[in-house]
């Protein structure tokens, strides 16, 4: 284990001492031929375990939501093995599967919707954002730094692009991992290293149904903001 990742502050909790190098995006999201040079961050044992649990869920489910070749191949080669080992998850998916109409531009096409526990996916992406802040800007987010996640439909994604990233082009990092299995952009503010914004697309943008059984689905990338917790207002001194 390289000293780069051991004995540091854990990038995920900003508190404990790290004892392992964690892949910020789990290797299992990628095809085996696409796993070179994936970003890593220092993690403590407890965060590593918690993140692995979330990844176990996400790597089985997210390829269902894709429009990307790697996800399709992932779905047929690796996901069945993952689901084989997880009977409750298999049941959850089978019971929730249904046909809905999704809209992409003017065309409508039937697509499969499976129930996704978005709270668990959000938890995972909050950790991923913390890992990315460490990888890209060598900043450890404090344990109380606020990490807010937002699902970006096409309009919001455009807003991110036009209003946030385009005006700061020189400072924006853009990375493409594993043949675009993951594409992300990040920007750290110059006056506060705890403040950053991210746009993360997996498998070409996941589809999340806007609401269960609803007529429209949203094409989604994930937006994340990090910011310092606001300091409590100082009490007036004196009596
Ligand atoms: Zn930790």
pTM: 0.78
CA of 225 to the centre of ligand 1 (A): 20
CA of 42 to the centre of ligand 1 (A): 8
Q: Are 9 and 140 in contact (CB under 8 A)?
A: yes
Residue 189: Cβ-neighbour burial (10 angstroms; 0-12, 13-18, 19+)? middle
Rounded distance, CA 73 to CA 63, Å? 9
Residue 30 in tokens: 């990628």
Q: Are 111 and 217 in contact (CB under 8 A)?
A: yes
| DSSP per-residue string spanning 149-200 | EEEE-HHHHHHIIIIIIGGGGGG-EEEEETTTTEEEEEEE-SS-TT-EEEEE
Structure confidence at residue 142 (pLDDT): 96
Q: Are 204 and 182 in contact (CB under 8 A)?
A: no
CA of 117 to the centre of ligand 1 (A): 23
Structure confidence at residue 122 (pLDDT): 86
CA of 138 to the centre of ligand 1 (A): 16
CA of 197 to the centre of ligand 1 (A): 21
CA of 16 to the centre of ligand 1 (A): 5
CA of 181 to the centre of ligand 1 (A): 26
Note down pLDDT in tens along the chain; length 239 residues: 567 899 999 999 999 999 999 999 999 888 888 898 999 999 999 999 999 999 988 887 766 655 555 666 666 666 666 666 777 766 666 555 543 334 444 444 445 556 667 788 889 999 999 999 999 999 999 999 999 988 777 777 788 889 889 998 889 999 999 988 899 999 999 889 999 999 998 776 665 554 444 334 444 578 899 999 876 566 665 54
CA of 17 to the centre of ligand 1 (A): 7
Rounded distance, CA 141 to CA 16, Å? 12
Q: What share of the chain is helix, strand, coil (3-state, %, to 5)?
A: 40, 25, 35
CA of 20 to the centre of ligand 1 (A): 10
Task: Please give all residues whose CB falls under 5 A of ion ligand 1, grouped by chain where several chains appear.
Answer: 10, 12-13, 16, 44, 47
Sequence-ordered list of residues with C-beta below 8 angstroms from that of 215, at least 6 positions apart, any chain: 100, 101, 103
Q: Are 66 and 44 in contact (CB under 8 A)?
A: no
Please work out, in degrees rounded to the nearest 5, the angle formed at the alpha carbon of residue 221 by the alpha carbons of 26 and 210.
Answer: 115
Rounded distance, CA 108 to CA 99, Å? 12
CA-CA distances (angstroms) from residue 31 to 71, 83, 175, 225, 238? 8, 17, 17, 29, 64
CA of 49 to the centre of ligand 1 (A): 9
């Amino acid at each position: 284990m390289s000293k780069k990742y051991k004995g540091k502050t854990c990038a995920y909790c900003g508190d404990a001492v790290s004892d392992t190098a964690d892949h910020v995006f789990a290797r299992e999201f990628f095809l085996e031929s696409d796993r070179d040079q994936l970003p890593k961050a220092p993690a403590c044992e407890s965060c590593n375990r918690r993140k692995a649990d979330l990844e176990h869920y996400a790597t089985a489910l997210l390829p269902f939501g894709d429009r990307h070749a790697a996800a399709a191949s992932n779905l047929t080669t690796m996901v069945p093995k993952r689901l084989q080992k997880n009977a409750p998850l298999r049941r959850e998916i089978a019971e929730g599967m249904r046909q809905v109409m999704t809209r992409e531009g003017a065309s409508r096409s039937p697509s499969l919707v499976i129930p996704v526990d978005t709270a668990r996916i959000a938890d995972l992406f909050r950790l991923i954002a913390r890992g990315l802040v460490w990888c890209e800007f060598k900043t450890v987010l404090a344990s109380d730094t606020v990490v807010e996640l937002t699902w970006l439909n096409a309009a919001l994604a455009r807003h991110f692009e036009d209003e946030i990233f385009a005006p700061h082009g020189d400072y924006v990092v853009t990375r493409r991992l594993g043949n675009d299995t993951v594409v992300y952009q990040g920007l750290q503010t110059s006056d506060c290293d705890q403040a950053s914004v991210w746009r993360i697309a997996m498998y070409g943008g996941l589809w999340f149904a806007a609401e269960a059984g609803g007529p429209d689905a949203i094409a989604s990338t994930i937006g994340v903001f990090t910011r310092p917790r606001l300091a409590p207002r100082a009490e007036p001194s004196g009596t």
